[in-house]
């Protein structure tokens, strides 16, 4: 009987656009794996900061092929598609550029697909890369499960993240055949292409799994502007695609709308403005404290004064960003019904 250990050929695929500052850290994390990738392919959406040259400088190190391929569509879905089209691996492993793979990431993904030959699509947990008080507060308020990961044992991690989990672009693995059955990632949408693919994977009956040991470290927003852009863009595209985020954020949006209305009403009746400011601050402070109380069950510690203050601010900014993004996306969906219909039809279409 042969004692040869079975291996899959692993192709790491990532989209990139002007990511020069993150190249060495991102690709370096893949070269620090306990199981090296067989190739790394970047779908470059037309970078002008030298991203491509920095990526190609890693080529052939430790026998790993590293290359860039052009992504005419520019969006992330197109970048993943062009990388997948030239990949030669048995398994396509992906994450967002700028994130860092934990040392056992690729080995865990490979083990999951070797253990279940019928597995089509999988993903794993992520935790936040936080250095400042703002980034710690961002992780706790916006991505609490990711914030908790360093504080959880394996049993708790499986229970919490398994319940909340859907594969996403920041951490996934998919077989080339199943990606073809899905028709690739939708390359005509600026955001939420990973959510669309996951919904389509369930529609066509793919076998999907959660891999708790396949960890990716995700970079938190470093300031208020980045926080606004992320949440506004996410909410806008969720509304355009008619994802269920209005229902999820209903209470937040009602309060945010009341606060905005009161602040605007201050132009006609001055007490409305301070009333709106007090309502907004009180609501944000209550929700921030609510989350920290829940998180303390696992972290065994309270936030610093700076983290608590930033948590309240992040709640305020995120509420307004979500409100504006969902409003903008809803208006765009009504103005361009054919686009939303195209997205819904793509998700529900039979397998290719």
Identify the structural domains of the chain with CATH numbers, from first to last. 10-125+165-219 (3.90.550.10), 224-348 (no CATH)
DSSP character string of 3-34: -PPP---EEEEEEESS-GGGHHHHHHHHHT-S
pLDDT at 263: 67
How far CA 55 is from CA of 23, 95, 338, in Å, comes to: 6, 16, 38
Q: pLDDT-based confidence at 164, cuts 50/70/90?
A: very low
Alpha carbons 156 and 88: distance in angstroms, whole number: 37
Q: Are 352 and 180 in contact (CB under 8 A)?
A: yes
CA angle 109, 112, 115 (to 5 degrees): 150
pLDDT at 181: 94
What are the tokens at 37?
A: 């990738």
**Segment 7-55, tens digit of pLDDT:** 899 999 999 999 999 999 999 999 999 999 999 999 999 999 999 999 9
Greater confidence, 117 or 290?
A: 117
Alpha carbons 98 and 100: distance in angstroms, whole number: 7
Greater confidence, 323 or 200?
A: 200
Q: pLDDT-based confidence at 141, cuts 50/70/90?
A: confident
- pTM of the full predicted structure? 0.86
- Nearest one of 200, 170, 175, 171 to 185, comparing CA atoms: 200
**Segment 225-254, tens digit of pLDDT:** 999 998 898 888 888 887 765 555 666 666
Instruction: Identify the DSSP state of 222.
Output: -
pLDDT at 251: 62
The helix or strand, by DSSP H or E, that contains position 217, with its residue range, turns out to be strand 216-219
Q: Show Cβ contacts of residue 24 under 8 Å, excluding neighbours closer than 6 positions.
A: 54
pLDDT at 303: 86
**Segment 124-135, tens digit of pLDDT:** 888 888 889 999
Instruction: Identify the DSSP state of 190.
Output: S
Instruction: Identify the DSSP state of 2.
Output: -
**Segment 241-299, tens digit of pLDDT:** 877 655 556 666 666 667 777 667 766 777 777 777 777 778 788 888 888 888 887 77
What are the tokens at 195?
A: 């959510």
pLDDT-above-70 percentage for the chain = 89
């Amino acid at each position: 009987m042969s004692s040869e250990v079975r291996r899959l050929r692993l192709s790491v695929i990532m989209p990139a656009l002007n990511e020069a500052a993150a190249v060495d850290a991102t690709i370096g994390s893949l070269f620090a794996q306990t199981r090296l990738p067989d190739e790394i392919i970047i779908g470059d959406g037309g970078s002008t900061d030298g991203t491509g040259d920095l990526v190609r400088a890693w080529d052939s190190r430790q026998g790993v092929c590293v290359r860039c391929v052009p992504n005419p569509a520019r969006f992330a879905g197109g970048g993943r598609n062009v990388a997948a089209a030239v990949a030669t691996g048995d398994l396509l492993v992906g994450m967002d550029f700028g994130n860092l793979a934990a040392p056992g990431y690729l080995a865990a993904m490979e083990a999951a697909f070797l253990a279940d030959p019928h597995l089509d699509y999988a993903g794993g947990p992520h935790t936040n890369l936080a250095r400042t008080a703002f980034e710690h507060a961002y992780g706790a308020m916006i991505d609490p499960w990711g914030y908790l990961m360093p504080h959880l044992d394996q049993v708790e991690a499986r229970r919490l993240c398994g319940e909340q989990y859907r594969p996403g672009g920041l951490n996934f693995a998919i077989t080339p055949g199943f990606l073809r059955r899905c028709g690739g990632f939708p390359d005509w949408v600026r955001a939420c292409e990973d959510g669309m693919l996951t919904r389509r994977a369930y529609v066509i009956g793919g076998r999907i799994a959660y891999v708790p040991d396949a960890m990716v470290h995700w970079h938190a927003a470093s300031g208020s502007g980045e926080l606004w852009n992320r949440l506004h863009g996410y909410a806008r595209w969720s509304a355009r695609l008619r994802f269920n985020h209005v229902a999820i954020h209903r209470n937040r949006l009602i309060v945010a709308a009341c606060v905005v209305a009161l602040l605007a009403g201050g132009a006609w009746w001055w007490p409305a403005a301070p009333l709106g400011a007090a309502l907004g601050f009180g609501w944000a402070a209550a929700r921030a404290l609510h989350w920290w109380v829940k998180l303390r069950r696992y972290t065994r510690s309270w936030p610093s004064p700076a983290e608590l203050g930033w948590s309240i601010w992040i709640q305020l900014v995120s509420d307004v960003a979500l409100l504006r993004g969902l409003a903008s996306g809803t208006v765009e969906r009504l103005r361009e019904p054919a686009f939303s219909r195209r997205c819904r039809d793509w998700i529900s279409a039979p397998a290719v």
